[in-house]
Structure 1
Amino acid sequence: MLTALSGRSRIAGLEVYVPPARLDTAAVERRIGERSPGFRVPKGLIGRVTGIRSRSVMADSEQASDLAANAAAKVLAECGLQTPDIDLLIFASASQDMVEPATGHMVAAKLGLGSPVMDVKNACNSFLNGLEVADALIGSGRYHRVLVATGESPSRAVRWTVPDFETFASSFPGYTMSDGGAAVLLEAADRPAADSDGKDTAGILAMGFTARSSHWSVGTLAAGGSAFPRDPEATYFSMDGEKLKEAFLDLGCGILDQTLAEADLQWTDFAVVCVHQVSAPYREIFAERAGVPRDRLVPAVEDFGNLASVSLPLQLRLALDSGRCGPGDLVALVGLAGGVSLGMAVVRL
């Protein structure tokens, strides 16, 4: 589904929170070996397959809501806003503190917000879909200023005791994952108009999303729902890597081409293209198939791991901090997620 948005909302603030504790890939392999009698990961395998050198790990006392609240507090401070200035909080994450209530309430309580809240969940595309919902609500006139926050805590779902290679392979996604939080403040943009250079004013200019939901079972974290309410085995990531690759091939890149065509853009028009990164090799494969020039990518997974829905805001924050993009530039946010789904946002900063 393609949605042309014409700058109804703009990004007024963006911040990321990465927990200070680090776990390098060699330590991951050692931990599996220490806790798995009779099984040992071939030395260097995880690093060779993923390209990941390190990932962040939240403290035992932290929850997903803490990661989101930390990032959101930074956004409020950056924008010089007080809690009454926020009209709506959307917690958009694959992770959650608990099934009930919505984690957005925990985030709001930690920030001291009195606004309405809601949760948006779609695996690693949760944050991108959160932006979509926020933009639509702002465009409708329902809210003026929406805080979209995510807190990803996948370290709580890693299987460290591995009996055999088959179990290791199905649990592999957990060894790539990283904890973190991010928050974006969206506010109503000026009425769409061109500036003196003929460019659109800052805002979310276009979005496009698609899904092939018949592939939902190839990657799961099943615990906590009605299917597996109390099964300890369902508390770990489980994925068939080959079937997931086939699922994304089935999904194709058509929605990206359509979104670019509708906006009359090419990849070379963007200062940076942030692509969800599950591993370094797959980032390169996806970019090649989608036609994204390598010099537009923002490598992040090597040093930060797979941050799920935090991946895109992290890359944009890195690009801003390094001077690769800034006010007036076009950026693209391209999300891939289990389920499976693919989405894209075109943003002028």
Structure 2
Amino acid sequence: MNSPASETASVIADNSIAIDARKVRDALQPKGREREAGNDERLLFRSSKRVQKLTGFSIRSIGSYVPSRVVTNEELEIRHGFEPGWIERRTGIKQRRFAADNESTSDLAVEAARRAIAAAQVSPADIDLLIVGTFSPDFTCPSTACLIQNKLKLDCPAMDLQAACSGFMYALATGAQFVATGNSQLALIIGADVNSRIVQPDDQQVAPLFGDGAGAVLLEAAGDSQGFVRYQLGADGAGGGMLDRPAGGVTLPLTPELVAAGRHYLKMDGRNVFKWAIEAVTQSIKMVLDDAGVGADDVNLFV
């Protein structure tokens, strides 16, 4: 699920589309009268200038890692008092993985990165850029990217990028810019989170939705036929309050009282987040497809 503050869509060179949405093709079909300008519901991404093209890079390899502990829907349905099958019917989620007590976000990321490096048959010394998308970092400081850099013994710039559930796409687009312009020859892009540590276990709206895991890709230079056919990055900070962690920043520093009240956990207005995500993400996908000159039926894979 995307954060209300950011969302992304992209069509890559093999006509696959990367986006977090269910039943996308149905959602893209017009239903009823089109919205009129000036109504109460604001439409995001009005300007087609937000849709961009970026070529000159390709994915050399991928790697992924999920913890061994499986948390089933049945376990959560019993805990929260849901009827059997409710979680899958409402979300499509069948299960999720939770990190072990001794596993951190950087640990998951390192495992995914090692698998990507092995698949590419390259040396860590060849990597000249590391970008990590996460909103559950090991620490506020140092960055998770620097921890990963040290664990992998890399010699390269390293930075975190925080864009909630859109973080990997933002990190991918950022790394692709470096590679496509010749400023990186081999970029390691990672998306990793241990959400089970930032979600209140008893929160019925949030707990069933999130799990832990990591994915990594290595990007390298390529010809003009490779890359993003079209992509879009967008943000709407007005929706930030629908999905946030109230305490822990400089505005509301942690205190024993705030921790006892659970204010350091992720909070979500589930109904409005779902409504926002369906509308905003569908608009984003449609703009990307329209600008690329393809229809939903032309796409081979929705993720």
TM over 0.5: yes
1:21-40 equivalences under 5 Å are 21-30=69-78, 32=79
CA contact (8 A) 2:127 2:186 kept: yes
Query: Could you tell me which amino acid in structure 1 is paired with residue 51 of structure 2?
Result: L
Residue 75 of structure 1 deviates from its aligned partner by 0.6
Residue 249 of structure 1 deviates from its aligned partner by 5.5
Distance across 2 between alignment mates of 1:157 and 1:28: 17
Q: How large is the Cα RMSD of the aligned pairs?
A: 1.9
In the TM superposition, what whole-angstrom CA distance separates every residue of 1:240-272 from its partner, at most 9, and x where no partner exists?
122223433663633322322222222222221
Number of residue pairs matched? 248
Query: Could you tell me which amino acid in structure 2 is paired with residue 78 of structure 1?
Result: A
Distance verdict in 2 for CA 1:245–1:57, change over 3 Å = closer
1:146-157 equivalences under 5 Å are 146-157=187-198
Distance verdict in 2 for CA 1:4–1:144, change over 3 Å = same
Distance across 2 between alignment mates of 1:252 and 1:43: 29
- The corresponding residue for 2:53 is 4
Residue 28 of structure 1 deviates from its aligned partner by 2.3
Distance verdict in 2 for CA 1:24–1:248, change over 3 Å = closer
Distance verdict in 2 for CA 1:4–1:42, change over 3 Å = closer
Distance across 2 between alignment mates of 1:180 and 1:252: 23
Distance verdict in 2 for CA 1:46–1:71, change over 3 Å = same
CA contact (8 A) 1:157 1:174 kept: no
| Aligned sequence identity (%) | 28
- The corresponding residue for 1:226 is 250
Distance across 1 between alignment mates of 2:247 and 2:270: 20
Matched, 1:62 2:103: yes
- The corresponding residue for 2:214 is 181
3-state SS in 2 of match to 1:226? coil
3-state SS in 2 of match to 1:96? coil
- The corresponding residue for 2:81 is 41
Distance verdict in 2 for CA 1:60–1:253, change over 3 Å = same
- The corresponding residue for 2:43 is none
Residue 27 of structure 1 deviates from its aligned partner by 1.6
Distance verdict in 2 for CA 1:21–1:116, change over 3 Å = same
CA contact (8 A) 1:92 1:149 kept: yes
1:1-349 equivalences under 5 Å are 1-5=50-54, 7-30=55-78, 32=79, 41-44=81-84, 45-160=86-201, 162=202, 168-169=203-204, 172-190=205-223, 192=224, 201-230=225-254, 231-232=258-259, 233-248=262-277, 251=280, 253-274=282-303
Q: Which runs of 5+ in 2 are unaligned?
A: 1-49
Query: Could you tell me which amino acid in structure 1 is paired with residue 81 of structure 2?
Result: V
CA contact (8 A) 1:57 1:155 kept: yes
CA contact (8 A) 1:154 1:174 kept: no
TM-score normalised to the size of structure 1?
0.66
Distance across 1 between alignment mates of 2:220 and 2:148: 19
Residue 67 of structure 1 deviates from its aligned partner by 0.6
Distance across 2 between alignment mates of 1:118 and 1:159: 28
In the TM superposition, what whole-angstrom CA distance separates every residue of 1:20-75 from its partner, at most 9, and x where no partner exists?
11111222244x4xxxxxxx624434444334332111111000001111000001
Distance across 1 between alignment mates of 2:219 and 2:269: 36
Query: Could you tell me which amino acid in structure 1 is paired with residue 64 of structure 2?
Result: V
Distance across 1 between alignment mates of 2:106 and 2:219: 19
Q: Flag the structure with more relative contact order, 1 or 2, with Cα contacts below 8 A and sequence separation at least 6.
A: 2
3-state SS in 1 of match to 2:164? coil
CA contact (8 A) 2:56 2:226 kept: no
After TM superposition, the structure 1 stretch with the greater mean CA deviation from structure 2, 142-151 or 251-260, is 251-260
Query: Could you tell me which amino acid in structure 2 is paired with residue 259 of structure 1?
Result: V
Distance verdict in 2 for CA 1:219–1:136, change over 3 Å = same
TM-score normalised to the size of structure 2?
0.76
Distance verdict in 2 for CA 1:223–1:64, change over 3 Å = farther
Distance verdict in 2 for CA 1:213–1:159, change over 3 Å = same
Distance verdict in 2 for CA 1:133–1:179, change over 3 Å = same
Query: Could you tell me which amino acid in structure 2 is paired with residue 4 of structure 1?
Result: K
Distance verdict in 2 for CA 1:42–1:251, change over 3 Å = closer
In the TM superposition, what whole-angstrom CA distance separates every residue of 1:176-199 from its partner, at most 9, and x where no partner exists?
211111001111112x2xxxxxxx
Query: Could you tell me which amino acid in structure 2 is paired with residue 93 of structure 1?
Result: T
Distance verdict in 2 for CA 1:61–1:255, change over 3 Å = same
